[in-house]
């Protein structure tokens, strides 16, 4: 008889494994509205921790939070040609309200550039009013045909930063600054290493001058676009008359940027660290970093063991650790272990009558390097004092493991479309680095042939030591190195 606690192994069906894990780790569930999701408390707890960290990073770089309307006049969306063409297939439109047909349809925001820059235009008169550095935490709607929890849903949560500047160099500096904020957050908090770089013209945001991206490699070798930062140039300023009087007294259009990450990051966390037993959480984002499970057989043992478990909780809370005691009576210890393993809690403390007598605890780590024992019997005081350090070490381990996995499947110096195809089609896929002439026809042909997309023109830190000399599409010289992969 099959064990219904087991997930489909990743090697057997990565997609099925992901879907099962999201549901059974109680991260999210399907809602009655097609393509939308309910984020359950465990999943929302992860998102809240992401929000807190990012919000602190945004404010440290001078940004303030605001809120803009959910509904946007259709005429606003239509003002910027590239923008409307890029989003038109995904728009959800309100045509009736209050029992009447509206004079102008309203779009449920797919993104807020149009409404935000129309407001900036009211607030800006002079160069002294610039820069404007704003962010909003919100939900958006993009009517997706094929959806998957967290990775692609019709409605999702995100933050969108929007700024206005007096010059293009200032806007470009802001665009790159926020890309680096994202890279640091993904590395230091999610323990998810990313390759940063410039999107090609065909892959950039609709209406942008330039789009920069963070590309993460999932365990199946596919790329996940984890966050983007856009230099919008003056396109939206011109459409919404966002002008200012510069220092020379001449009227000029402002330069804008926008940048965002979403609840897709929760899906990226799952696919970067999860294993066949369930979720594996980076301690900095775990809603619960340590779970304490009291173990007893007799009722007379219960009081002392549970009391000690709560004492341990109090001591860890004083040390700044997020901790929970699982003293539910209707579940045996094995069921509790299984549940918290599936939910990815980094550390588990077990304590029973014998441990009380020895003044010790059993400390169990969710994952360890190969060959190391997950379980340790430790003096209680020693164990509790070591928990903050153990959590930080666990965080470092997850990042190191993810970097090693990415580099093991990063293929540099590939010179033919045939080899590119072989690499991305192989089990485990990967990132393929090649030369490119910049010809969009080569990009289109490779995408049609291999189903891989040009993920980015990587920043210097991620480029190969020996840059490719020839374009992968033929005999033309290479003008740049690029990264290809199949993607979510």
pLDDT tens digit sequence for 289-309: 999 999 998 888 999 999 999
The mean pLDDT value for 171-185 works out to 98
Enumerate residues 6+ apart whose C-beta is below 8 A from 66: 134, 135, 136
Query: Which residues have a Cβ under 8 Å from the Cβ of 415 and sit 6 or more positions away?
Result: 434, 435, 468, 470, 472
pLDDT at 225: 98
Domains contained in the chain, CATH given: 14-273 (3.30.930.10), 290-390 (3.40.50.800), 410-485 (3.30.110.30)
Angle (CA) 370 373 376, round 5° = 155
Q: Which residues of 316-353 are buried (b: 16+ CB within 10 A; e: fewer)?
A: beeeebbbbbbbeeeeeeeebbebbbbbbbbbbbbbbb
Tokens of 331: 């579940």
Average pLDDT on 75-91 reads: 82
Residues 396, 189: Cα–Cα separation, whole Å = 10
Residues 118-141 have pLDDT tens digits of 999 999 999 999 999 999 999 999
Angstrom distances, CA of residue 127 to CA of 135, 247, 248, 252, 379: 20, 7, 10, 9, 64
Q: What is the mean pLDDT of residues 356-372?
A: 96
Question: Would you state the pLDDT for residue 92?
Answer: 94
Question: Between vectors from CA 400 to CA 397 and to CA 404, what angle results, nearest 5°?
Answer: 140
Radius of gyration, CA atoms only, the chain: 25
Structure tokens at 193: 């290493």
Local confidence band at 467 (pLDDT 50, 70, 90 cut-offs): confident
Which pLDDT score, from 0 to 100, does residue 2 have? 47
Proportion of the chain in helix, strand, coil states, percent, rounded to 5: 40, 30, 35
Task: Please tell me the predicted confidence (pLDDT) of residue 145.
Answer: 82
Q: Are 257 and 230 in contact (CB under 8 A)?
A: yes
Task: Please say whether the beta carbons of 340 and 292 come within 8 A.
Answer: no
35 confidence band (pLDDT: 50, 70, 90): confident
pLDDT at 83 > cutoff 80: no
Q: Express each pLDDT in 212-246 by its tens digit.
A: 999 999 999 999 999 999 999 999 999 999 999 99
Predicted pLDDT at 1: 39
pLDDT of residue 275 exceeding 70? yes
Q: What is the mean pLDDT of the chain?
A: 96
3-state secondary structure of 458: strand
The backbone torsions φ and ψ at residue 212, rounded to the nearest 5 degrees and listed phi first, read: -110, 150
Q: What pLDDT, on a 0 to 100 scale, did the predictor assign at position 3?
A: 55
Pick the more confident residue, 185 or 474. 185
Q: Which helix (H) or strand (E) holds 450?
A: helix 440-450
Residues whose CB falls within 8 Å of the CB of residue 145, separated by 6 or more in sequence, listed in order: none
Torsion of CA 196, 200, 201, 206, to 10 degrees: -40
């Amino acid at each position: 008889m099959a064990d219904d606690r087991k997930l489909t192994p990743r090697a057997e069906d990565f997609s099925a494994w992901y879907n099962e894990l999201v549901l059974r780790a109680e991260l999210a569930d399907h809602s009655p509205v097609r393509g939308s999701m309910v984020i359950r408390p465990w999943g929302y707890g992860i998102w809240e921790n992401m929000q807190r960290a990012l919000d602190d990073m945004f404010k440290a770089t001078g940004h303030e939070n605001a809120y803009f309307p959910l509904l946007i006049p259709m005429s606003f969306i239509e003002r910027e040609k590239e923008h409307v063409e890029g989003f038109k297939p995904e728009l959800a439109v309100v045509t009736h309200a209050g029992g009447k047909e509206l004079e102008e349809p309203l779009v449920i925001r797919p993104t807020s550039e149009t409404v935000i820059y129309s407001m900036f235009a009211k607030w800006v008169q002079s160069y002294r009013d610039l820069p404007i550095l704003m962010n909003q935490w919100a939900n958006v709607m993009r009517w997706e045909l094929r959806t998957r929890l967290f990775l692609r849903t019709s409605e999702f949560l995100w933050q969108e930063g929007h700024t206005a500047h007096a010059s293009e160099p200032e806007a470009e500096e802001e665009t790159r600054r926020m890309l680096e904020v994202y890279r640091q957050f993904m590395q230091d908090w999610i323990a998810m290493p990313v390759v940063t770089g410039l999107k090609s013209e065909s892959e950039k945001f609709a209406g942008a001058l330039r789009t920069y991206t963070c590309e993460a490699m999932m365990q199946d070798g596919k790329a996940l676009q984890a966050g983007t930062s856009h230099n919008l140039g003056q396109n939206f300023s011109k459409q919404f008359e966002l002008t200012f009087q510069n220092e020379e007294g001449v009227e000029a259009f402002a330069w804008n940027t926008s940048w965002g990450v979403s609840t897709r990051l929760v899906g990226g966390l799952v696919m970067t660290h999860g294993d066949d037993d369930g979720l594996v959480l980076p301690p900095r984002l775990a809603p619960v970093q340590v779970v304490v499970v009291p173990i007893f057989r007799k009722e007379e043992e219960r009081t002392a063991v549970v009391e000690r478990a709560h004492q341990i909780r109090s001591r860890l809370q004083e040390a700044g650790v997020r901790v929970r005691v699982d003293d539910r009576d209707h579940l045996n210890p094995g069921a509790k272990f299984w549940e918290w393993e599936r939910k990815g809690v980094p550390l588990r403390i077990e304590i029973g009558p014998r441990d009380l007598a020895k003044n010790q605890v059993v400390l169990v780590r969710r994952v360890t390097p190969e060959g190391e024992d997950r379980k340790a019997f430790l003096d209680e005081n020693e164990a509790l004092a070591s928990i903050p350090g153990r959590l930080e070490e666990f965080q470092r381990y997850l990042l190191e493991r993810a970097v090693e996995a990415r580099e093991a499947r990063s293929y540099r110096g590939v010179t033919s479309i045939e080899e590119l195809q072989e690499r991305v089609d192989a089990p485990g896929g990967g990132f393929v680095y090649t030369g490119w002439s910049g010809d969009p026809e080569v990009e289109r042909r490779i995408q049609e042939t291999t189903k891989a997309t040009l993920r980015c023109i990587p920043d210097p830190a991620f480029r190969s030591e020996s840059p490719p000399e020839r374009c992968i599409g033929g005999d033309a010289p290479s003008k740049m190195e690029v990264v290809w992969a199949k993607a979510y």
